Amino acid sequence: MRAGRRRKAAPRDKSLARYRAKRDFEATPEPRGAQGRSGGRRYLIQKHAARRLHYDFRLEMDGVLKSWAVTRGPSLDPADKRLAVHVEDHPLAYGDFEGTIPKPQYGGGTVMLWDEGSWEPLGDPDAMMRAGRLKFRLEGERLKGEWNLVRMRRRSPRDKHDNWLLIKGRDGEAKPGDGGALLEEADRSVRSGRSMEEIARGSSVWHSNRGDAGADGRDAAKAARPKPSPAKTVKAAGKRGRLPDFVEPQLATRVGAPPAGEGWVHEIKLDGYRIQARLDGGKVSLLTRRGLDWCKRFPAIAKAVGALPAKTALLDGEIVAFEADGLSNFGQLQAILSGDEQGELAFVLFDLLYLDGQDLRALPLLERKARLLGLLGATERGVLRFSQHFDRDGGEIYRHACELALEGVVSKRAQDPYRSGRGTGWLKSKCRERQEFVIGGFTRPAKGRPGVGALLLGYGDGGRLRYAGRVGTGFGRAQSLALRRRLEPIRQDEPPFAAIPAAARRGVTYVEPSLVCETEFATWTRDGLVRQASFLGLREDKPASEITREKVMRRASRSPGPAEPEKPTVAASRKRKATAAGKAESGAKGEQDFHGVRLTHPGRLLYEEPAISKLDLAQYYVDVADRIMPHVKHRPLAIVRCPDGASGTCFFQKHLSAGMPDAIKPFSVKSKEGARESYVSIEDERGLIALVQFGVLEIHPWGASADDVDKADRIIFDLDPDPKVEWPDVIAAAKEVRDRLQELKLESFVKTTGGKGLHVVAPLRPAVAWEPVKRLTQAIAFSMAADKPALYLAKSSKAARGGKIFIDYLRNDRGSTAVAPYSTRARAGAPISAPLDWRELNARLRSDRYRLGNIRDRLAALPRDPWEGFFDIRQSLGAKTLSALKTSR
């Protein structure tokens, strides 16, 4: 068996035989390495001052780094073809090597990591290599866009060299006439920030702080023990220099999950406008990524920047609008800027590039952030806010962010300098699919309404605009009209897309592809179209020419150090653990397959007093499923999510979001403006458990079935008492509502809310539209308030609420919700919204009397269901009542 394994392993390492034969690993710090797994797409360039200076261009293929020595380095000019000599394959670990190879060893000299990122073959890479024409796209920190490697014919059979040409593709990243300008400007390492001279003076090798075990088991750290990151040696002071007019921002590369290991810090990904604030002697500029000054759009923020205790400064951050639940919301930001909504904006700052004569970009990130926090001082909780970071496990931060419905996490190398452009020093892990698209056309709404029905989306691909589908939800009536006004002046006859399906052309008005919008969507289809897209807003800070399909880099390595096998996403990791374990733990950690739904961390406490775990809550819903399901099944739902339990942050959610378990179903509802929106819904007991898994502590259904959301199938009065109101008065109010409904020949039921008051609910045959139902409930509420103004209130006025009961009739409208019977509430003690028999109302009862700890005992002791017959009653508003409501309009 051993011999068999050796014979099988030999071919995998065969491609590295030439590499190893040329090196003495007792004398050189280069990694011996082993052939890795296939499937990676890493790209890098190492600047190498050997016998003559050259640039080693490397692409990860088949578990090794395919390598070319580019004698004059790459050029951004497509007409400038650079000779690239094909050399021996290198191990993957070589991609993190930076240091000095001792002479007279092979390749003796200084090596700098000049560029790194990912690459994407534009075709079958193996077939292109055999044909001698490799076409690919780079996403590096310095090189981007399309490139070509073309093999040259050998002049004679005696020619030993396998010569290729490295040629820049003709796209938006090309710079005709650039020559070697890029090589002159970019003269420092993308990893350590050091020059060739500084690397030569430093330790013999600069890669990771941990050993790199080679195929023979030896530790490369024995050859050259690494010193602390050179960035730390310059943390005391920045470089003297002039305040830049503008610095190209550093951008993050998308990955499937945050990087593991030490050396990273993680920040919450924000949802706003990226802004660079420039302060020069009291004059403030708020610069977008395109260099536009938006001071007039954000005067309060400009004033706050101007008040900072500095003469000159350059700050990097994002302007956002925070909702009441603390989440940033790009749609709300746009609504505030357009004047449609009122609200405060905040400038969340995460980097400091320049301060009072010192250019800080070469300093480590943590040093720059420390100086930023010192500059903000006591103001860092006002309009200007400091972006907090976490140095804990990135996967844990990412999981919490997704459970809170945040956009995601940005991971940054803690000791890296600031590097303009997109690279691997900053990595972003998104919880949901979202990106910018170019608008290439629109359709008109149905029934001749004004505005737009849907927008046609596209993105740049090799100099062409590729069609990516439509988005027809997410904008209200006002926004729809505003979009139409922006699109009409840029109409054109021809489609801007390279190709568009015939079915997508009907009823389309094409426009000049100059406007950019941001969307959120479920996933990409196999045909390259977005699925279940929702419009978030226009992106006036990003030019259409820069919009491409966002790629997810396959690997996020530790820093600083060699690349590692790709870390699985959170969901994939948990799935493998569950499969391997077979049987889950029931403690705070682990997983459990509970009635067909995967519960993660089933022992995690959702309520502290009494201690109620996720598993306890799931078991409760299984026990009462036959009672609660008729009230929540096949209905649009609003949910209250509390990822950290009832004592943590909780927030309402109506729409389906990425990451929800499969048992939570999307339900498409047409909005009042005609756009379709995807709501949360469930169909069975598994759906209830899935809601628990997703941190849901309250379930609020619509008062209509999914079969016809425009017809009410119940009337709900929410009696909300002021704390000064005595409980018997609340009971009296419920009975008065019941009596007034009886006068209309409507039978009603009562339940506790689990909070302070009572709900009176009358089932209806779904035959009446919402408008008359709302007018009826409004008439009853106003009549009660007129009869007893000292006790009842029909208008939601906090100032007038003292000592009164607010009779909330507003639950009776399309899209309005109320907590479901038998749903828990996100309050201490886990109270339940419990159905009652009218005869149970008494002075000893309170709205939060029934809780998860005693509700099952109550149900077991009841001789019958308090709401027995609720779904059998086929009552509706009489013709006389409907006529009277119509007359009263």
Helix (H, G, I), strand (E, B) or coil at 358: strand
Q: Are strands 312-321 and 605-607 parallel, antiparallel or unpaired?
A: unpaired
Q: For residues 512 and 487, give the distance between their C-alpha atoms in angstroms, rounded to a whole number.
A: 8
Q: Are strands 792-793 and 805-808 parallel, antiparallel or unpaired?
A: parallel
Query: What single-letter amino acid sits at 530?
Result: V
Helix H or strand E segment including 679: strand 676-681
Helix H or strand E segment including 349: strand 345-355
Q: For residues 377 and 692, give the distance between their C-alpha atoms in angstroms, rounded to a whole number.
A: 41
User: How many alpha carbons fall within 13 Å on the CB side of residue 388?
Assistant: 5
| CA nearest to 36, candidates 222, 213, 264 | 213
Q: Where are the alpha helices (DSSP H) in 744-799?
A: 770-787
Q: For residues 821 and 629, give the distance between their C-alpha atoms in angstroms, rounded to a whole number.
A: 9
Phi, psi dihedrals of residue 692, rounded to the nearest 5°? -60, -45
Name the token pair of 478.
Answer: 């006002």
* Structural contact between residues 66 and 45, judged by C-beta atoms closer than 8 angstroms: no
Name the token pair of 313.
Answer: 């400064």
Query: What single-letter amino acid sits at 603?
Result: G
Q: How far is CA 824 from the centre of its chain?
A: 29
Return the active site residues: 269
Helix (H, G, I), strand (E, B) or coil at 151: strand
Q: How far is CA 838 from the centre of its chain?
A: 48
SS3 of 171-234: the string is CCCCCCCCCCHHHHHCCCCCCCCCCHHHHHHCCCECCCCCCCECCCCCEHHHCCCCCCCHHHHH
Name the token pair of 689.
Answer: 């458990």
| CA nearest to 857, candidates 882, 874, 875, 834 | 834
Q: 């086929």: which residue's tokens?
A: 874
* Structural contact between residues 812 and 703, judged by C-beta atoms closer than 8 angstroms: yes
| CA nearest to 71, candidates 83, 57, 58, 89 | 83
Exposed, middle or buried, 126 (CB in 10 Å: 0-12/13-18/19+)?
exposed
* Structural contact between residues 253 and 424, judged by C-beta atoms closer than 8 angstroms: yes
Name the token pair of 861.
Answer: 């002791």
* Structural contact between residues 238 and 358, judged by C-beta atoms closer than 8 angstroms: yes
Name the token pair of 200.
Answer: 């030569």
